[in-house]
Amino acid sequence: MGERAGAMTVTWLPVNEHARISLEIVARTLAREVDLLCVMAANNEVGTLQPVAAIADLARGAGTDLLVDATQAAGKIPLQVDDWGVEYMVLSAHKIYGPKGVGALVSPAVSTDPLPPGFDVHESTPNVPGIVGMGEASKIAKAEMASDGVRIAALRDRLQERLLATIPGLVVNGDIANRLAGNLHVSIPGVPNDAVVANVRHAVALSTGAACASGADAPSHVLRAMDIADWRQQGALRMSVGRFTTEDEVDRAAAALEVAVGMVKHSMQAFG
């Protein structure tokens, strides 16, 4: 089944240099009688928030089902499945401080009618503790999301300002006006990102791309799709600020990164 077997045709929609999708492109695509439109509520690398409500309006007008991957956005922005008219929304527990290996498919479109005669489905044994853990994590996230968002965004901005002030040429990637509160994605000119990561691994948890693609040397498909300059792809670093991050940790991370970048530049000059 799938595209390779000829069962479906997949069309990939482009994004701009901020990783944001164009509503005009979505509208033109939906004019071709699309069965299912899939969009991320928030990008997992640069943190860009997509205009899901507007996209949902376009999909509804075209009679197209909409699937929203809200894995990154859950617990960080309000998710309004019914108001948006979303047929399917995917969530993952570990992104809201719940147990790993548990997720949810939220869908008002799922039928509760019994299966037709001749159809039989063997349901697997549910992970009850994991499901309960996700439910509890969801309740906490709903209760604390607003206050957490303000505090986390302030910490992210503190880290961003420190890095911009101390590392020459550093730029922030993604849509600065529309991004997740805890996301900070930057690029540093003339410094290989893997060398920076190697020098701060003992002090700062950061990566050169998405966690699901760890170990990959090439720039991520996200940065390639953004079509940003090569040096920004090669010097990209992804950081996150979370519920338990403190101001002291942010300051120590900024200081460690400043030292690491200086060491890498010195080594490159000495041996280049």
In this structure, what CATH number is given to the domain that contains residue 159? Answer: 3.90.1150.10
- Residue 13 domain flag: no
Is 80 exceeded by the pLDDT of residue 212?
no
Q: Which of 1, 10, 128, 212 is catalytic?
A: 212
What is residue 270's predicted lDDT score, i.e. its pLDDT?
A: 76
pLDDT grade, residue 115 (50/70/90)? low
**Residue 95 shares a structural domain with residue 172:** no
In which residue are the tokens 């240099």 written? 17
* 149 and 264 share one domain: yes
Structural domain total, the chain:
2
CATH number at residue 39: 3.40.640.10
Phi and psi at residue 250, in whole multiples of 5°? Answer: -60, -45
Report residue 183: phi and psi, to 5°. Answer: -90, 135
Q: Which amino acid is at 7?
A: A
Residue 259 maps to a domain = yes
Q: Are residues 234 and 193 in the same domain?
A: yes
- The predicted structure's pLDDT at residue 108: 82
Whether 265 and 190 map to the same domain: the answer is: yes
3-state secondary structure of 21: strand
Regarding whether 159 and 100 lie in a shared domain, the answer is no
Structural domain including 91 reads 23-109+124-137
pLDDT higher than threshold 90 for residue 252: yes
Question: Does 130 lie in the same domain as 151?
Answer: no
Residue of higher predicted confidence among 46 and 272? 46
Q: Is the pLDDT of residue 184 over 90?
A: yes
Does pLDDT of 147 surpass 90?
Answer: yes
Classify residue 114: in a domain, yes or no. Answer: no
The confidence score (pLDDT) of residue 114 equals 64
Interior angle at CA 105, CA 59 and CA 14, nearest 5: 40
pLDDT at 121: 60
Task: Indicate if 133 and 189 belong to the same structural domain.
Answer: no
- Residue 133 sits in the same domain as residue 208: no
Residue pointed to by tokens 């399917």: 88
Does a structural domain hold residue 14? Answer: no
Instruction: Kindly list the distances between the CA atom of residue 88 and the CA atoms of 12, 70, 81, 121, 167, in Å, as whole numbers in the listed order.
Output: 19, 10, 8, 21, 43
* Residue 7 reports pLDDT greater than 80: no
212 is catalytic: yes
- The 3 state secondary structure assigned to 250-262 is HHHHHHHHHHHHH
Q: Which residues pair with 69 in a beta bridge?
A: 40, 90
Whether the pTM exceeds 0.85: the reply is yes
